[in-house]
Structure 1
Amino acid sequence: MKIKELYPDVIAEDTEYEYKATLNPDKPIKWAKTIVGYANGNGGTMFVGVSDSGEAFGIDLDEIDKTKLLIAKINDRHIFPHAKIRYMMRSVDADAEKFVLAVNVIQADSVVRYKEGDFNETVYIKGDGNSTPASPEDIISLSKRKFGVDNETSEILYAENQWREYLDLCREYREESSIPTIKDLQNEEIVSKEGYAKSGFLMFSDDYDGDDSLICCRLWKGKDKTGIVLDSGRYKGSLAKVFKNALNFIERNTRTGWRKTESGGRDEVRAYPKEAIREALVNAIAHRDYSIAGTQIDVDIYIDRIDIVSPGSWLLPKSYDRYPIGFIPSIRRNSIIAACLDMANLMERGGTGFQTMVESYKGSAEHLQPGVLIYPGFLDLRLFDLIYEDSAMLVVQDELSDRQKVLEILRTEGSKHVKELQIVTSYKSRSQFLSEVINPLIEEGVIYRDGNAKSPKSLIKLKNK
């Protein structure tokens, strides 16, 4: 049977297609470049179980399952951003023992490349029947007609008054509280020589409102997500703003303890070292895959750990556990976003972020060391609570914070007046309670006021997520 007889509806649409007898797992580049070429073009279909002459001989179901798993593996490890793929299978015999697998590749929104090793990546485009490496001119052309490329030059001129949140971040973390000059930004290619911001830098601008900057934070009562959510926050906007908001969320929802010294004094011990929290968040923002639509960075605080989960596959050739602790090579998925964080003194070019996290946990038990859990398309950076298991530790802030008490009452008892909520907290001043607890929660979209702000009869309600 000819393939055109088996798939007349697919081939008749004038989409590009290629025939493959099987996919070689030992030399994936031979067929993976076809997937990359289709993704960089207008899409296309690769038929597996078909000879070069178009004869559809088919493969069995076991081979089809292996083929799908192989494609998923190569797509996850070597193709970035990941190609969007759909499958279709049709039998070539009356007994339905052999099938042709149609691998349909969807046109990508950004430039797709094949990555082999630490620093070797190639952009492939479809030529006359073959997928070939793109020339620099081809890549520039691709970048201009694709959307959302990290280092694409925008039409927005850089102006300090449109990047105030980012510059405030620089003042906080750079030496001598300085801010970068436009020359500094141009030297790092964050801004073009003509003064136009790169697309990655736009995500740090004050008016950025893209869904891809979303960070969702939750505080759980137990050790998993089946427990009660005690506090939550959804932060979007400029990457500078969401970084600060997420950092503040973790800070107010983690504990501090005291350990007695030999001299009779006390040493303060934080549940999570500040350096580790900061580096983990920076890592998630810098390395997440922004091409995966409908996803966000998730920060989940449990009673014994914090999981910071970001979209994007593991980029290194070896698994996490095959690298010595604290010596993980640095590969940047988003060069401009990483450069912006580097410029703010939040990220170092040498890839020492994970080493900093490990150093902050120095002296802790081996099972409490920071770790990376790798899932298909996601990375989970896990930090453990250093005082959770320490029975000799005098823990402070062990009770619910005033903010958590307010949220817990609204969840369990429903709407309340401000006065009713203030009673369960430590606040004596109504104005201070409003400015430090109620108003921030309203601004974050966690709660809302039903009624006039000046009326004592207005109710505070929990916002449905």
Structure 2
Amino acid sequence: MKISELFPDVVTEDTEYEFKALLKQDNPVKWAKTIVGYANDQGGIIFVGVSNDGEAFGLDLNEIDQTKNLVARVNDRNIFPHVKISYMMRSVDETADHFVLGMKVLPAESVVRYREGDFNETVYIRGNGNSTPATPEDIISLSKRRYGVDNETTEVRYREEEWTDYLTLCREYRNDGAVPSLKELQSEEIVSKDGFAKSGFIMFRDGYDRDDTMICCRLWKGMNKAGTVLDSARFKGSIALVFENALRFIERNTKSGWQKTANGGRKEIRSYPKEAIREALVNAIAHRDYSISGTQIDVDIYNDRMEIVSPGSWLLPKGYAEYPVGSIPSIRRNSIIAACLDAANLMERGGTGFLTMMEAYKAFSEQLQPVISIYPGFLNLKLYDVLYRVDEAPRSVEYTASENKVWKLLKENGPMKVKDLQCAYGYSNRSRFLKDVINPMIERGDIYRDGSTKSPTAVIKIKR
């Protein structure tokens, strides 16, 4: 019996239909890639119990149960995110002992991957009768499926008064200190020729309130998340506002100081080079996968490092370490968001963000160089604190004995009130203690006061 006798519209394998005699459990990727390919396209049906030439011989009920259980197990363990599958059966004989099993795969709302092991994910797309690994360009195209990201023309007309956060960002970082003209935004395809904003640009609009721009920042006491959270914040809103708020959080929770130069002068030194922090955040925003709902960019600051984690698989065919420094190809997951950052002079066109970070760290040892770790579904960028020293203030900064003591007390105990620090020193005069010890460290950026100077609950925190 031919499959067309059971399903008149099905004649041969194509973009919508595929035939499988059996689904084997010893190498599931051979058939599971078809499920992934259909989910990443317009959906499709896999017919089990059918030969390659369309002969329908069917499976018995026990084989059908085993097949369904196998598909459910592979969908749960190997396919991310899980796809929706429905089943149908047609008898191939008069006694109804054998059936063709049809598995209808529904199209997914986000990019679907097949996972083998802990660190190997493959995106498959559907061709004419086969499923093949997607190219980086294919993945970018798939990631734009969700409405609102990134290149759809919306019905919102661009008006400068509705993008004040973004225009303020442009004034701060553009060399000319000006805002981009409408003509410039149109030439970058951020705004359509008719004056309507692209969906990626909507994420920079004042009052944007969806959760997909969220950045979660945390300051930890210790080297990992087993420690105490000393400071935390969740920022959402327009990308421009979230970016600035995240930078301010990092600034107040990291250290800076002064170092003597060879000619007797002084220069400012920081735990993390400004350029590296900015590039790390910009790259996380530009390249995150906005199609993965319920995720955010995470910024975690530990004693010795900062980790910036963004959702989205690595798009390039080789790992980060396999590319020579400065030669990483520029592949943009979100073209309009990247163009908006370009127009604000925050993102280079040539994909030089990683090179800029490496350049900012070139004066430091190999152990302090930035590290990119690639995991299934997200990237982790580590920036190391170049001033970090164990159990003491950085020796490269000039600290008095009293300032070193403040540093150690705050590092060991976390935030403390001024009166408690004063008591630990034995200072009888609060004003003198503030003048001699606390205020100079605040002015230099070593510590900061969280709360009003007159508030009894205000505490001193270390910028780490």
Q: Which one of 390, 394, 397 corresponds to residue 397 of structure 2?
A: 394
Deviations 1:7-50 (A, max 9, x none): xxxxxxxxx87444469999x89974653433443x55657897
Check the 8 A contact 2:38/2:105 in 1, yes or no: no
Aligned to 1:318: 318
Taking the aligned partners of 2:33 and 2:412, their CA distance within structure 1 comes to: 54
Q: Are residues 457 and 163 of structure 1, via their aligned partners in 2, closer, same or farther at CA, if it must alter by over 3 Å?
A: closer
Check the 8 A contact 1:143/1:152 in 2, yes or no: no
* Identity across the alignment (%): 54
Aligned to 1:85: 83
The structure that has the greater radius of gyration is 2
Structure 2 unaligned runs (5+)?
4-15, 88-99, 115-122, 133-141, 418-429, 440-448, 459-464
Q: Are residues 224 and 144 of structure 1, via their aligned partners in 2, closer, same or farther at CA, if it must alter by over 3 Å?
A: closer
User: What residue identity is the alignment partner of 1:394?
Assistant: V
- Tell me the SS of whatever aligns to 2:176: helix
2:36 pairs with 1:35: yes
User: What residue identity is the alignment partner of 1:377?
Assistant: G
Deviations 1:288-331 (A, max 9, x none): 01111111000000010000000001111011221123432221
2:374 pairs with 1:371: no
Q: How much has 1:270 moved relative to structure 2?
A: 1.0
Aligned to 1:432: none
Aligned to 2:241: 241
Check the 8 A contact 1:88/1:101 in 2, yes or no: no
Taking the aligned partners of 2:201 and 2:277, their CA distance within structure 1 comes to: 23
User: What residue identity is the alignment partner of 2:336?
Assistant: I
TM-score normalised to the size of structure 1?
0.66
Taking the aligned partners of 1:101 and 1:314, their CA distance within structure 2 comes to: 36
Deviations 1:94-143 (A, max 9, x none): xxxxxx999875533368899xxxxxx99759x9x8889xxxxxxxxx99
Q: How much has 1:54 moved relative to structure 2?
A: 6.1
Deviations 1:321-348 (A, max 9, x none): 2112343222111111111101111001
TM-score normalised to the size of structure 2?
0.66
Q: Are residues 69 and 168 of structure 1, via their aligned partners in 2, closer, same or farther at CA, if it must alter by over 3 Å?
A: same
Check the 8 A contact 1:84/1:106 in 2, yes or no: no
Aligned to 2:382: 382
Aligned to 2:157: 157
Check the 8 A contact 1:112/1:123 in 2, yes or no: no
Deviations 1:351-385 (A, max 9, x none): 00100000000121112111111111010011011
Taking the aligned partners of 1:266 and 1:302, their CA distance within structure 2 comes to: 28
- Tell me the SS of whatever aligns to 2:155: strand
Check the 8 A contact 1:113/1:123 in 2, yes or no: no
Taking the aligned partners of 2:181 and 2:273, their CA distance within structure 1 comes to: 32
2:259 pairs with 1:256: no
Aligned to 1:203: 203
Taking the aligned partners of 1:387 and 1:458, their CA distance within structure 2 comes to: 32
Alignment of 1:428-439 (within 5 A): 437-438=450-451
Check the 8 A contact 1:186/1:192 in 2, yes or no: yes
Aligned to 1:135: none
Q: How much has 1:261 moved relative to structure 2?
A: 3.5
User: What residue identity is the alignment partner of 2:383?
Assistant: L
Taking the aligned partners of 2:65 and 2:146, their CA distance within structure 1 comes to: 36
Taking the aligned partners of 2:368 and 2:238, their CA distance within structure 1 comes to: 33
Check the 8 A contact 1:201/1:337 in 2, yes or no: yes
Aligned length: 373
Deviates more, 1:142-151 or 1:341-350: 142-151
Root-mean-square deviation (CA), in Å? 4.9
User: What residue identity is the alignment partner of 1:393?
Assistant: S
Taking the aligned partners of 2:226 and 2:144, their CA distance within structure 1 comes to: 46
